[in-house]
Structure 1
Amino acid sequence: MDAIGTARVPDHPTVQAALSLARRAPSVHNTQPWRLVFDGHRLQLYGDTYRRLSSADPQGRQLTISCGALVDHIRTAFAAAGWSTRVTRLPDTAADHLAEIEFEPARDVSDTVRARAAAIDRRYTDRLPMLPPRNWERVEPALRAVAAAGEVTLTVLEASARLRLAAASAQSAALRAYDPQYLNELHWWAGNDSPADGVPISALVSAAELAQVGVGRAFPAAPPSLRRGELTDASKLLVLGTDADTPAQWLRAGEALSAALLECTAAGLATCPLTHITEVPTSRRAIANLVPGRVEPQVVVRVGTAPTTASQPPTPRRPVSDFLDLHRFG
């Protein structure tokens, strides 16, 4: 039952439908590191530590950012179904209990919410070179607004900073080039054909295309894409940062990341989150030096215009039943 009826909480089919949409949230290496419990009244979100990248993400920072992205996707999906949500972040002392989400019927559904919810299925990570983002003068203020709403700083890097960011990306890759644990982890999650998770070969790029981008993660190489020609990447580079480096701030950074990606997708733009540059402390410090003030960089995002209208096939997602516990549903 949706919120137009008399119910005070969403019923089982509504929960299933909303989470079937929300599960499209981006996560590091598409690990989808989350568990949910719905008791008939509240939705509890837990980080799934079995899906944490032990080499790339030993602190669980990226796991928490991924779960924050899911929180925003959940709120967007339920809002489009007519339900307002209230989030309590880190509701108790359990390290893996990241959020509690409560519901109440919404009075209406705004066009903005509908547009963001419709963007969920269209959003994908575009690792190929991009053209400059269209209508940037209109999109940029909207991105700053959604980030600020989540207490996250959004910085658009100057074009002159691209070379320094590329150097930080190369440094991060060099530090990991002979790390067998990191490389095994990367190849476990990327370039395979899992029907439920990971980064499929269709979402990866060739070595030549990676070089054209300059700031991408060195995933296993793929065959060249259908975007022919020597296109030099002209995307905008955004840095999402927080004023502290705590789990609460990581969660909010993930929420802001989700909101920004959906805002861009709704505007017809392509996006690519870059998390590898913030995995290594030296690279992270290099990014911090590109951002005014004292900011903890959490995620870098490329935003541009795809030169063709053809998008890649959807990346896989786990079925809702794989991460949702309904055994206490009343």
Structure 2
Amino acid sequence: MVEQIEVPERPLAATLARAAVAAGYAPSVHNTQPWHWRVESERLELFADRTRQLSVTDPDGRLLLLSCGTALHHATVALAAQGWASKVTRLPDPEQPDLLARLIPDGPIPVTSRARRLFQAAEVRHTDRRPVTDEPVPVSTLAAITTAVAGAARLQVLTRDQVLGLAAAASRAATVESDDPRVRDELAYWTGRGAPAGAGLPAHVVPGEPPRTTVPERDFGRPGTLPVGPGHDAAASYLLLFGDDDEQSSWLRAGEALSAAWLTAVGLGVSVLPLSEAIEVESTRQALRQVLSGLGHPYLVLRVGFADPDHAGPAHTPRLRSDQVVETAIG
């Protein structure tokens, strides 16, 4: 449960603070939550927190920016659910490279049923690493998920042959990373007791044994306590999130797109599992570019499917305290 944070009694500032706190529901790589919000009297500022960057796995900050983009979109969803439109300026100050975005309320709007549904989806969204059922996701549902990105990035549904290519790339990336002791140490930190309280991946969200899948999931180096249960990924669909370039502004936008697609999927009863391992290794990321015929840059892979309704899914991952990620700059 995301906590509340105290702010001075100013209606707009309180609204902004609530949106920043609600953005803590957003997904992030290894649950690092690498963002920091500053609440001004009439705007929110989003910063990257480099202390929670995966310095070995993600030295360029691609996954950090994706994660911060999901938080940015979550904040706009929270504002809309409170009856406010918002205007976003991305990477507004070259002198402050960690200032990723300014979010300014752009006038009151009616609170629509769609706005309420998206915010409710943000509250219940979680990552489920169990295999999915053998019920395929309907084409119309896939279309709704892929169009939800609304130009912030693009999603391509992979063909069966492309999924097999993805499986080979993921397997190769896993081998490369498992051979690197620095990667193993970083992963152990974020999945062990060394992670900051309220962050990282506790044992209850990590499978107790390798799931049966065509595309291998990440080996976290130690088994968790999440029962794998029945199922396979044979009926899953795999989507490739990509854009026209490989720049920081596009990574941030791709994170916003990821959030929009994921919340849409939750509303449609679809489980989403992000897969980043093949993106983290340069050679396998370039191999995925060939899926796009070299015309785009891959940012993330998503597995979508239906979770087994007869077996309870994992509990939510923990969250950092609000005062660790949100500060108020008003007196």
DSSP 3-state at the match of 2:239: strand
- SS of equivalent to 2:292: coil
Paired residue for 1:75? Answer: 76
- CA drift of 1:155 comes to 0.2
With over 3 angstroms needed to count, the CA separation of the structure-2 counterparts of 1:53 and 1:224, relative to structure 1, is closer
Q: Which residue of 1 aligns with 2:207?
A: 205
Which residue matches 1:4?
Answer: none
Match of 1:322 in 2: 324
Change (3 A) 1:213 1:196: farther
Q: Which residue of 1 aligns with 2:119?
A: 117
- How much does 1:220 deviate? 3.1
- Contact 1:269 1:303 survives alignment (8 Å): yes
Is residue 2:243 matched to residue 1:242? yes
Paired residue for 2:149?
147
Bigger mean CA deviation after superposition, 306-315 or 68-77: 306-315
Give the distance between the partners of 2:144 and 2:10, measured in 1 at CA. 32
Residue 191 of structure 1 contacts residue 220 of structure 1 at CA under 8 Å; is this kept in 2? no
Q: Give the deviation of 1:118 after TM superposition.
A: 0.3
Offset at 1:116?
Answer: 1.0
2:12 maps to which of 10, 34, 51:
10
Q: For 2:112, give the aligned amino acid.
A: S
| CA distance in 2: counterparts of 1:228 and 1:246, whole angstroms | 40
The separation in 2 between residues aligned to 1:139 and 1:96, in whole angstroms, is 36
How many Å apart are 1:181 and its aligned residue? 1.0
Residue 38 of structure 1: how far off its partner (Å): 1.2
Change (3 A) 1:194 1:60: closer
Give the SS at the match of 1:161: helix
Displacement, 1:138?
2.4
Q: How much is the aligned-residue C-alpha RMSD, in angstroms? A: 2.1
The alignment partner of 1:148 has SS state of coil
CA distance in 1, matches of 2:144, 2:324: 35
Counterparts of residues 110-259 of structure 1 (less than 5 Å): 110-131=112-133, 136-150=138-152, 152-192=153-193, 195-209=197-211, 211-212=212-213, 214-223=215-224, 225-229=226-230, 231-259=232-260
Partner of 1:108, secondary structure, is: coil
Distance 2:135 2:290 in 1: 25
Query: Which secondary structure does the structure 1 equivalent of 2:106 belong to?
Result: strand
Is this contact kept in 2: 1:205–1:224, CA < 8 A?
yes
Give the SS at the match of 1:23: helix
Change beyond 3 A, Cα 1:112–1:135: farther
Q: How far has the Cα of 1:224 moved from its partner?
A: 6.2
Counterpart in the other structure of 1:59: 60
Superposition deviation, residue 122 in structure 1: 1.4
- 1:250-269 paired onto structure 2 within 5 Å: 250-269=251-270
Q: Secondary structure at the match of 1:149?
A: coil
Q: Deviations over 1:253-293 (max 9, x none)?
A: 00000111100001111111111110111111111112256
- How many angstroms does 1:107 deviate by? 2.2
Structure 1-normalised TM-score?
Answer: 0.90
8 A contact 1:129–1:234 mirrored in 2: no
Q: CA deviation at 1:80?
A: 0.5
- Of stretches 129-138 and 176-185 in structure 1, the one that deviates more from structure 2 is 129-138
Amino acid at match of 1:256: A
Q: Distance in 1 between matches of 2:100 and 2:245?
A: 17
Q: 1:18 to 1:148 in 2, by over 3 A?
A: closer
Which residue pairs with 1:3 in the alignment? none
SS at match of 2:316: coil
Which range moves more in the overlay, 141-150 or 48-57? 141-150
**Is the counterpart of residue 280 in structure 1 residue 281 in structure 2?**
yes
Aligned CA distance change for structure 1 residues 218 and 163 (closer, same or farther; 3 Å)? same
Paired position in structure 2 for 1:104: 106
AA aligned opposite 1:125: T
Give unmatched runs, 5+ long, in structure 2: 1-8
Given that 2:42 and 2:105 are in contact with CA atoms closer than 8 Å, whether structure 1 keeps it comes out as yes
Q: 1:9–1:41: 8 Å Cα contact kept in structure 2? A: no
Residue in 1 aligned with 2:3?
Answer: none
Compare 266-275 and 230-239 and name the one that shifted more. 230-239
Count of residue pairs brought into register by the alignment = 320
Q: Distance in 1 between matches of 2:11 and 2:296?
A: 39
Question: What SS is found at the alignment partner of 1:138?
Answer: helix
Q: Which amino acid aligns with 1:100?
A: R
Contact map agreement 1:204 1:220 (CA 8 A) in 2: no
Question: In the superposition, relative to structure 1, how do residues 133 and 19 fare at CA in structure 2: closer, same or farther (>3 Å)?
Answer: farther
1:128 to partner: Cα distance: 1.4
Q: Distance in 2 between matches of 1:271 and 1:231?
A: 14
The 3-state SS of whatever aligns with 1:207 is: coil
The amino acid across from 2:67 in the alignment is S
Extract unaligned runs of 5+ from structure 1. Answer: 1-6
Percentage of identical aligned residues:
34
Once residues 129 and 214 of structure 2 are traced to their aligned partners in structure 1, the CA distance between those partners, rounded to angstroms, is 8
Alpha-carbon distance, 1:110 to partner: 2.0
